[in-house]
Chains A and B, each alone.
Chain A
Amino acid sequence: MTTAELIPVLVGLKFRIVRSGGRFTNVLLGLAVLGTFAAVLVAGSFVLFLRNVPERADIIVPVLTAIGIAWFGVPVVLGGGEGTLHAGKLTVYPIETKKLVIGLMAAAFVGVPALATGLLAFTTISHARSATTFILLLVSIVVFAATAVLSGRTSIAIMSGLLRGRRTKELAGALAATLGVSLGVIGPFATEYSDGLVGDRLAGVRGVAPYIPWGWPAEAIGRASLGDVRGALFFLVLALVFAAGLWTVWSRIMERMLTDRAFNDEQDVGVGLIPRWMTVFGSGPIVAVWARSLRQLRRDPREFMEIAGFLPMIIIFTLPSIEGLRQGEPVAVLGSGSVGLALGITSLNMFGADARSFGVDALASTNIRHVLVGKVMARLTLGVPLILVLACSFAAIADGWAYVFPSLGIGLTSLLSMAGVGMFVSTRFPFALPDTLTLGGRGSNGCATGVIRLGALLTAMVAAAPGVAITVVVTLFVSPGAGNVAALFAVFFGLFVFWGASRISGRWATNHIPEVFQLLSAA
């Protein structure tokens, strides 16, 4: 079978699968197509209206860029796609892999999202004011649609192929969900801070588009719409390169998936629990828990979801700092320390993600304090570099290098205080996180869990307050240099809270293993 013969077969097959998969009757299918056209018509009318708006590219480019990114990002969150026309099912037929890959790509254009994307982009053709811009727009629209569909297929192939492990998919899902929550929360605040100047905001977003590959075809359309032929050609070439890159990545993954059985095997993880760098800290139980917890945080995304659940509050705390940075105030660097509070949130339920495995710790550990301290060490390993990177980034933006060390002190104090309170709460009121990745389910604890954790968060803030307050006051009202000394004091204060809490909670938990075990098993 030649490629030309194969393409209509696969396109027809995809059309039938999409039609029967949605359980469409002919009437429903007709209505769905009409609905799509109507939606595109409304959007198209708006695009047509933009024809005479001088800033039209400032609206077209961000919208089309967002659509392109959505094509890549949505399969990460929602999954699916590969099941519609499962390539694996087609390998039993005598079809050359390369031809199959081309046929699959052609079939990928069949579907309501692809149709809607193509039609929406096509409405910009109305902006053509000459034969040259008409051709440029036409080619750019085709490249845009192709890039969008290729992005979707590549994303799906990566998800089902390269990121084949369950944990990687979950991690990708968690990160995408976290991003979604962040955007959802930031949106209203960003609107408030932008003084309602949506046009300015979009113009700002457009400024970023040339640096994003998905913005290149959109920029080509936007520039062609303005009659900027040279600019449009430049971005069209970039878009073609990007599309070719996506095609190469996707086809390679597909070919490998279709020919290499071992590719689908479960992934082996590295050998050895304790990384080489960690051996300088010894080989005792704390180091073992530390290493294990780092793996847990890396391989199990539910703790990230925990942060996502508290993200709105953290964003509210940091927004003034972000606004300060926007205005170039060096002191806004101190806001980076609040990340310590955010990261410390997972300390409020340290046994949550591995609740079902607490039995291993309970049966093997001679002192639960080792387990608690090891878990906190893992959080510090991730948290301290992050606070430092953020503080340095903020300092670079606002030229506030003098505030980096105090910021680190604030972050570390928050993290240690949170960990200290977290040890207490984690042992007295532990609860198992649900196995599935949802922001909702919290087992059978009802609202009590949320209330306890909110109380713990506020307690941790109070516990951290002396150290943080002294650092902030000295830095702001004396000097950033004196703030460094205060930061050092704050860290020692945080260590004291942490040390004391670890002794009290460790002793209590070691003597109450059955009670902790029962609470964690109950959910």
Chain B
Amino acid sequence: MPSLPRIPPTPQYGRRRCRKRVMTSTIDAESGRALAPSTAAPDWALEIHGLVKHFDEKKAVDGIDLAVPRGSFTGLLGPNGAGKSTTLAMISGLLRPDAGTIRVVGHDVWADPVANKARIGVVPETLLLFERLSGRELLEYVGRLRTLDPEVVEHRAEELLAVLELEEAANKLVVDYSQGMRKKISLAAALLHVPEVLFLDEPFESVDPISVRAIRSVLDQLVQTGATVVFSSHVMATVEALCDHVAIMHEGKLVSVGPMDQVRDGGSLDDAFASAVGAAGKIQREVTFFSPTTS
């Protein structure tokens, strides 16, 4: 009897180095805030102090303090409306904070936004791409806008298109791309200048499993070079598989932060998340009008 084909095990990206570094932030017992990282910490990719953002009456981000070590793969978790996307927008320079400071690899983001752009790569939640350019044209455009050498841009673009399995669609307009392809071309555009810190907002949302594998592979390779990846997500399994550090936001505040094992505290990330946002032990209400059907 012929043996069934074996599916190779999914590689555990990003887990090899994840426990080497320890995030020094801890949660203050009284305020629930993460304490500011120690100033003696040698190497922070991202330092946030007292970050605040209001939208009219609503406090979208409520004075968060966070430090992310260099070379880490950090997941930013939180329920809808927790303030994750707002925080990432402020870090990437697309949203002006009301208060607080953000430092990327030691440099104040808002003191020199132009220099910050050279250090970071961003894949926003809403993919704002030039839809009437082809994938290849888009990468060339972004590369030249970043004043990279045209030959370097061409070489990197070809390689990224190949690695992200976009070669066949490279000459098609972005407007005709699927959601997964759009995420991938957006990631390629963010990686073109080899950023020191990469921020991704919901990179795996609406993406098919094959594209997820391609994206995960590229992100893992980037982290292995010493770069830092910070991404927001709702998908616990992905965060658990990828990240060595995790930060949980709820109602604009940081409610749990640290290395993955520390946050999980022996349980699952799902449970830790529910506990952090106050959903643990919450009894789900039943629909009263459901009744067994006879057929």
Contact = CB atoms under 8 A, between A and B. Distances in A.
Interface stretch (A263-271, A401-409, A481-489): A263-271
Interface stretch (B56-64, B87-95, B250-258): B87-95
A514 to B, nearest CB: 4
Interface stretch (A18-26, A250-258, A352-360): A352-360
Interface in A258-296: 266-274, 283-285, 287-289, 291-292, 295-296
A209 B147 CA distance: 55
Contacts of B172: 266-269
B122 to A, nearest CB: 5
A357 B117 contact: no
A296 B189 contact: no
B128 A266 contact: no
A82 interface: no
B140 interface: yes
In this complex, the interface size class of chain A, counting residues with CB under 8 Å from chain B, is 35 or more
B141 A292 contact: yes
A505 to B, nearest CB: 17
Interface stretch (B33-41, B131-139, B221-229): B131-139
A514 B94 contact: yes
A479 interface: no
Contacts of B275: none
A510 B134 CA distance: 26
A359 B222 CA distance: 23
A513 interface: yes
A283 B150 contact: yes
A78 interface: no
B46 to A, nearest CB: 17
Contact of A268 (B131, B147, B150, B171): B171
A91 interface: no
In this complex, the interface size class of chain B, counting residues with CB under 8 Å from chain A, is 35 or more
B162 to A, nearest CB: 15
Contacts of B93: 362-363, 513-514
B146 interface: yes
Contact of A364 (B96, B126, B133, B146): B146
A296 B134 CA distance: 11
B113 A273 contact: no
A367 B147 CA distance: 11
B71 interface: no
Nearest to B131: A357
B85 to A, nearest CB: 12
9 contacts: A270-B171, A272-B136, A273-B133, A273-B141, A274-B140, A274-B144, A360-B129, A364-B145, A517-B95
Interface of A: 166-167, 266-274, 283-285, 287-289, 291-292, 295-296, 299-300, 354, 356-367, 370, 510, 513-515, 517-518
The 10 A-B residue pairs with the shortest CB-CB distance in the complex, in nearest-first order: A359-B128, A288-B144, A299-B132, A268-B171, A273-B140, A364-B145, A514-B96, A273-B137, A357-B130, A269-B134
Given A271-B171, A366-B146, 6 more contacts: A269-B134, A273-B144, A363-B92, A364-B142, A365-B117, A514-B93
